[in-house]
Amino acid sequence: MLDTRRIRPDFPILAQQENGQRLVYLDNAATSQKPLRVIDAITHFYSHHNANVHRGAYALAVEATEAYEAARTAIARFVNAWAREGVVFTRGTTESINLVAGSWGRANVKGGDTVVVTAMDHHSNIVPWQILCQEKGATLRMVEITKDGRIDLADFGRALEAKPKIVAFPYVSNSLGTVNPAAQLSKLAHAAGAVTVVDGAQSSPHLRVDVQALDCDFYALSGHKMLGPMGSGALVAKPALLEAMPPYHGGGEMIERVWDDRSSWNKIPHKFEGGTPNVEAAVGLGAAIAYLEQLGMDKVSEHEQELARVAIDRLSQIEGVTIYGPRDHRAGVVPFTYGDIHPHDLATILDKDGVCIRAGHHCTQPLMRRLGVAATARASFYIYNDLDDIDALVTAVRKAGELFGVLAS
Amino acid sequence: MNDLGDLYQQVILDHNRNPRNFKRLESANRKAEGNNPLCGDRIQLYVQLDGGTITDIGFQMPQGSGCAISKASASLMTDAVKGKPVKDAEAMFAAFRGMLSGGANAPGKLAAFSGVRAFPSRIKCANLAWHALHAALQNSAEPVTTESAKDF
């Protein structure tokens, strides 16, 4: 496991108390905390290099552009992108997927076509496709999940019989923690003639990602879940696809020439980066990637998987606790319910002990319906969590049981 | 655990475990649905209104969709307004909202929710049933959501 005694001091917020208790932050699937290195990178950018990018003829503007483009290179290296030109900065996974739906989707999906998503997708990988399909008169097909929380491969195969134009799925489920066989799914989808869109919001922070090995077509990621700033993120795509796609947002920076009545487009990735970008977010994300690379993504995965294993083991010993998701092939996400205590009540009770967990539908309402629950509680781990955090979680859950006189269901 | 004891008072835990008026009223002449889209809580409220008086009232929450605060609040609300004129029910709603936004305690058992004040993230849970009641009394066809109400 990682040496959290050395990691925790890098995160100023962890020194803070919550309700008079040590902060036990277990909502990392929602967003991660930020190390000083990231916070300082943002401050340093504004203190020393701030100017608009890609346009100034003066040295400061060149420095700002270099800082921005260095972050693009870092992302490309981090996920083994096809080319650094295939990395488009966005506000995060949601915008990345909307970009694909709004550009590639609108140009290529026609009435009668099919788009495939899965029942474990986050709303951000469902709703953009619903909007596209409604606009085009296309069919949205949702692939079912198995009882233990995996993508149902038989149903996935049936969905491919419709020869879908797009197949979208999450690499890692934010609600279940399932690590999906993304390379296999992508291969099957390609054989059926589809392009593949991988929601990488939960994989990028936690796994060693190699988009070329996955051989997907589009890969979306969010910076804020991987130690970076909120509003940072990227769409990583095969350059040839981006070349052929129409622009997403019109504006400055994305053009080559503007006539009175028409324009021609800048080269990729700039064609998709209209307007002044969030340079501080890009710079902060670059610093976050440097921090993760220093730890090593294999060690990061191993650490979280061990924490999840211990948490599942210990929570399972409490009578009335139900854990959701598969036994193996899972990331550091532990969804659970406890008897008839509503997850919101659990979250409130845990908060009093300084333990922050998420309670609710986790932006996966179709999945919740299939699990037959309105909500779950979810503990999710990251590099600064340790076994003391799991002690605090388990103690607080037991306390909730005492308060509510839990009826084990 | 003092603060938690203030939030989860015994009367709230009791009404959560054994909600009163937890029934579908087939005869109801007013109905409303309440949603808290942030947490997925849903309530279906049935009101029998006769000559300006709430003669019967019932509520349902789909399996697992009500937390202790929202379910107990709905239960205590239905007890409090049953048999009361509409204007009294609306006055109770005003008093209840007032209490949750820092004002004086609401009358009777409704005061059990005074502890919710210290938990801003749970105020919507306590108010959900009351917003549904208000919508039912206004005969509003639109489901109410905690996101459209001004007091959150």
| Residue B60's CATH number | 3.90.1010.10
Residues A287 and A305 in one domain: no
Interface test with B, best of A348, A367, A409 (most B CBs within 10 A): A348
Q: Which residues of A touch B1 (CB under 8 A)?
A: 352, 399, 403
Residues A282 and A334 in one domain: no
- Whether residue B83 contacts residue B55, with contact meaning beta carbons closer than 8 Å, is answered with yes
Q: Do B64 and A345 touch (CB under 8 A)?
A: no
Query: Is residue A409, in this structure, part of any structural domain at all?
Result: no
Q: Do B13 and A361 touch (CB under 8 A)?
A: no
Residues A44 and A125 in one domain: yes
Strand order from edge to edge, sheet including A87-90: A87-90, A233-237, A218-222, A195-199, A166-170, A114-118, A139-143
Residues A170 and A256 in one domain: yes
> Nearest C-alpha of chain B: how many angstroms from A394?
16
Q: Which residues of A touch B66 (CB under 8 A)?
A: 342
- Whether residue A124 contacts residue A363, with contact meaning beta carbons closer than 8 Å, is answered with yes
**Structural domain boundaries, residue B69:** 2-145
Known catalytic residue at A133? no
Taking the CA atoms of A217, A223, A224 and A225 in sequence, report the sign of the dihedral they define: positive
Q: Which of B3, B64, B68 sits opposite A374 (nearest CB)?
A: B64
Which residues 6+ apart lie within 8 Å of B48 measured at CB? B25, B27, B28, B29, B30, B54, B55, B56, B57
- Whether residue A354 contacts residue A202, with contact meaning beta carbons closer than 8 Å, is answered with no
> Nearest C-alpha of chain A: how many angstroms from B62?
8
**B102/B117 Cα distance (integer angstroms):** 7
Per-residue confidence (pLDDT) for residue B1, from 0 to 100: 42
- Whether residue A152 contacts residue A146, with contact meaning beta carbons closer than 8 Å, is answered with yes
Which candidate in A133, A216, A356, A363 is catalytic?
Answer: A363
Q: Do B39 and A368 touch (CB under 8 A)?
A: no
> Nearest C-alpha of chain A: how many angstroms from B87?
32
Query: Is residue A117, in this structure, part of any structural domain at all?
Result: yes
Residues A64 and A13 in one domain: no
Per-residue confidence (pLDDT) for residue A241, from 0 to 100: 98
Residues A155 and A115 in one domain: yes
pLDDT at residue B4 is higher than 90: no
Q: How far apart are the first and last CA of chain B?
A: 26
Among chain A residues, CA nearest to B71: A342
Q: Do B68 and A365 touch (CB under 8 A)?
A: no
- CATH number, domain containing residue A168: 3.40.640.10
Q: Does B118 touch chain A (CB under 8 A)?
A: no
Q: Do A344 and B63 touch (CB under 8 A)?
A: no
> Nearest C-alpha of chain A: how many angstroms from B106?
23
CB atoms within 10 A of CB B95: 18
Query: Is residue A214, in this structure, part of any structural domain at all?
Result: yes
- Whether residue A120 contacts residue A149, with contact meaning beta carbons closer than 8 Å, is answered with yes
- CATH number, domain containing residue A322: 3.90.1150.10
Domain termination residue (choose one: A238, A266, A293): A293
CA-nearest of A231, A233, A126, A208 to A175 is: A126
Q: Which of A342, A365, A403 sits opposite B4 (nearest CB)?
A: A403
Query: Is residue A108, in this structure, part of any structural domain at all?
Result: yes
Per-residue confidence (pLDDT) for residue B147, from 0 to 100: 64
Q: Do B119 and A348 touch (CB under 8 A)?
A: yes
Q: Which residues of B touch A368 (CB under 8 A)?
A: 40
Which residues 6+ apart lie within 8 Å of A22 measured at CB? A354, A388, A392
Q: Which residues of B touch A399 (CB under 8 A)?
A: 1
Both structure tokens of A62: 């060149």
Residues A244 and A162 in one domain: yes
What pLDDT tens digit does each residue of chain A (409 aa) get? 999 999 999 999 999 988 788 999 999 999 999 999 999 999 999 999 999 998 878 999 999 999 999 999 999 999 999 999 999 999 999 999 999 999 999 999 999 999 999 999 999 999 999 999 999 999 999 999 999 999 999 999 999 999 999 999 999 999 999 999 999 999 999 999 999 999 999 999 999 999 999 999 999 999 999 999 999 999 999 999 999 999 999 999 999 999 999 999 999 999 999 999 999 999 999 999 999 999 999 999 999 999 999 999 999 999 999 999 998 888 999 999 999 899 999 999 999 999 999 998 899 999 999 998 889 999 999 999 999 999 999 999 999 999 988 654 4
| β strands within B10-150, DSSP E | 30-36, 41-50, 53-60, 144-145
ipTM of this model? 0.85
CA-nearest of B20, B43, B38 to A360 is: B38
CB-based burial label for A405 (10 Å; 0-12, 13-18, 19+): exposed
Query: Is residue B90, in this structure, part of any structural domain at all?
Result: yes
Query: Is residue B114, in this structure, part of any structural domain at all?
Result: yes
Q: Do A344 and B1 touch (CB under 8 A)?
A: no
Residues A16 and A83 in one domain: no
Query: Is residue B150, in this structure, part of any structural domain at all?
Result: no
pLDDT grade, residue B142 (50/70/90)? low
Which residues 6+ apart lie within 8 Å of A47 measured at CB? none
Per-residue confidence (pLDDT) for residue A405, from 0 to 100: 83
Query: Is residue B122, in this structure, part of any structural domain at all?
Result: yes
> Nearest C-alpha of chain B: how many angstroms from A317?
23
pTM for the model: 0.93
Residues A242 and A181 in one domain: yes
Size of interface A-B (CB pairs under 8 A): 55
Q: How many domains does chain B have?
A: 1
> Nearest C-alpha of chain A: how many angstroms from B119?
8
Q: Do B64 and A368 touch (CB under 8 A)?
A: no
Q: Which residues of B touch A403 (CB under 8 A)?
A: 1, 4, 8, 13
Q: Which residues of A touch B4 (CB under 8 A)?
A: 348-349, 352, 403
Per-residue confidence (pLDDT) for residue B148, from 0 to 100: 58
Query: Is residue A124, in this structure, part of any structural domain at all?
Result: yes
- Whether residue A2 contacts residue A297, with contact meaning beta carbons closer than 8 Å, is answered with no
Domain termination residue (choose one: A249, A270, A293): A293
> B132 by DSSP, 3-state: which?
helix
Q: How many domains does chain A have?
A: 2
Per-residue confidence (pLDDT) for residue A94, from 0 to 100: 98
Among chain B residues, CA nearest to A404: B13
Q: Do B67 and A345 touch (CB under 8 A)?
A: yes
Query: Is residue B152, in this structure, part of any structural domain at all?
Result: no
pLDDT at residue B150 is higher than 60: no
Residues A80 and A129 in one domain: yes
Both structure tokens of B82: 């049953």
- In the 3-class helix/strand/coil scheme, how is A88-143 assigned residue by residue? EEECCHHHHHHHHHHHHHHHHCCCCCEEEEECCCCHHHCHHHHHHHHHHCCEEEEE
Q: Which residues of A touch B124 (CB under 8 A)?
A: none
**Structural domain boundaries, residue A200:** 38-293
Higher pLDDT, A304 or B143: A304
Query: Is residue A78, in this structure, part of any structural domain at all?
Result: yes
Q: Do A345 and B8 touch (CB under 8 A)?
A: yes
Query: Is residue B127, in this structure, part of any structural domain at all?
Result: yes
**B124/A359 Cα distance (integer angstroms):** 15
Q: Does B1 touch chain A (CB under 8 A)?
A: yes
Query: Is residue B110, in this structure, part of any structural domain at all?
Result: yes
Q: Do B122 and A360 touch (CB under 8 A)?
A: no
Q: What are the DSSP calls for B91-104, one per residue?
A: HHHHHHHHHHTT-P
Residues A393 and A256 in one domain: no
pLDDT at residue B145 is higher than 80: no
Residues A208 and A75 in one domain: yes
Which residues 6+ apart lie within 8 Å of B2 measured at CB? none
Q: Does B40 touch chain A (CB under 8 A)?
A: yes
> Nearest C-alpha of chain B: how many angstroms from A332?
23
Among chain A residues, CA nearest to B38: A360
Per-residue confidence (pLDDT) for residue B65, from 0 to 100: 76
Domain termination residue (choose one: A242, A276, A293): A293
Q: Which residues of A touch B13 (CB under 8 A)?
A: 403-405
Per-residue confidence (pLDDT) for residue B66, from 0 to 100: 87
Please report, rounded to a whole number, the percentage of residues in chain B having pLDDT higher than 90.
72
